[in-house]
């Protein structure tokens, strides 16, 4: 089965769940998503004052996490093609003192509106698998990254260790879609789409290969929380 990841469907889906997106993320991950972002900004740490780009930013959580780690004067740019998600991010920004250096831009990761070789870090958290053309998204992330800069992809994955794999699979494939739809009703079945898209998305060596084909070097991956999530890092 091929999951419908068309731009129109993904944009509608995230527009429908945007108001409760953060609450559902923290609830369904039992707040572990905060740890994964914390781990990302420390393993792929800013150096100097060149700007940072977070694509498929959603409501901006990873962008805000990077803002807390950068030197004064460093700009953090956060892009997403779903206007409703960006609106939530901007409201969060208004409630957070000192977060004005995050610039939200409505843009498609498959066609980023930036020059080549601009950003010291280009990151994405749980968004690359939602891009219709994964390879085009990676190519654009690599294009706008500075030579010597890093591309970081934080994404869901499937644990390999039993019996945890079976327990997690039951939660992800049966419980999570029902809880998600009950608490955040939407016409696009977003929380059924979640495990389906994770199951189809390349992980481990397969995603490393795709990142290398986009022009990145020294690509490594680091499994988090027994493999529930994986952080991939490549150098341009």
Q: What is the pLDDT of residues 29-40, one digit of tens each?
A: 989 999 999 999
Asked whether the predicted pLDDT for residue 1 surpasses 70, the reply is no
Answer whether 54's CB lies under 8 Å from 46's CB.
Answer: no
Residue 108: the pLDDT is 98
Model confidence over 110-138: pLDDT tens digits? 999 999 999 999 999 999 999 999 999 99
Beta strand 145-156 pairing with 229-235: antiparallel
Model-level pTM? Answer: 0.96
* Contact residues for 146 (Cβ-Cβ < 8 A; gap 6+): 50, 117, 118, 119, 120, 236
pLDDT in tens, 187-196: 889 999 999 9
Provide the percentage of residues in the chain whose pLDDT is more than 90.
Answer: 88
Q: Per CATH, is 7-159+201-235 categorized as 3.40.50.300?
A: no
Interatomic CA distance for residues 176 and 27, integer angstroms? 10
């Amino acid at each position: 089965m091929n999951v419908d990841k068309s731009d129109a469907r993904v944009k509608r889906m995230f527009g429908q769940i945007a108001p409760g997106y953060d609450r559902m993320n923290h609830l369904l991950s039992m707040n572990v998503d905060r740890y994964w972002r914390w781990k990302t900004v420390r393993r792929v740490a800013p150096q100097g004052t060149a700007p940072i780009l977070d694509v498929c930013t959603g409501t901006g959580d990873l962008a805000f996490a990077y803002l807390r780690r950068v030197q004064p004067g460093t700009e953090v740019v956060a892009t997403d093609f779903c206007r409703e998600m960006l609106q939530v991010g901007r409201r969060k920004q208004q409630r957070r003192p000192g977060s004005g250096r995050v610039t939200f831009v409505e843009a498609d990761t498959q066609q980023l509106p930036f020059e080549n070789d601009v950003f010291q870090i280009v990151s994405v958290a749980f968004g690359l698998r939602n891009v219709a053309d994964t390879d085009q998204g990676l190519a654009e992330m690599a294009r706008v990254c500075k030579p010597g800069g890093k591309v970081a992809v934080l994404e869901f994955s499937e644990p390999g260790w039993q019996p945890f794999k079976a327990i997690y699979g039951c939660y992800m494939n049966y419980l999570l879609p029902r809880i998600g739809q009950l608490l955040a009703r939407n016409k696009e079945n977003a929380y059924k789409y979640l495990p389906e898209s994770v199951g189809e998305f390349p992980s481990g060596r397969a995603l490393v290969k795709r990142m290398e084909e986009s022009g990145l070097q020294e690509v490594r991956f680091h499994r988090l929380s027994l493999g529930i999530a994986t952080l991939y890092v490549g150098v341009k």
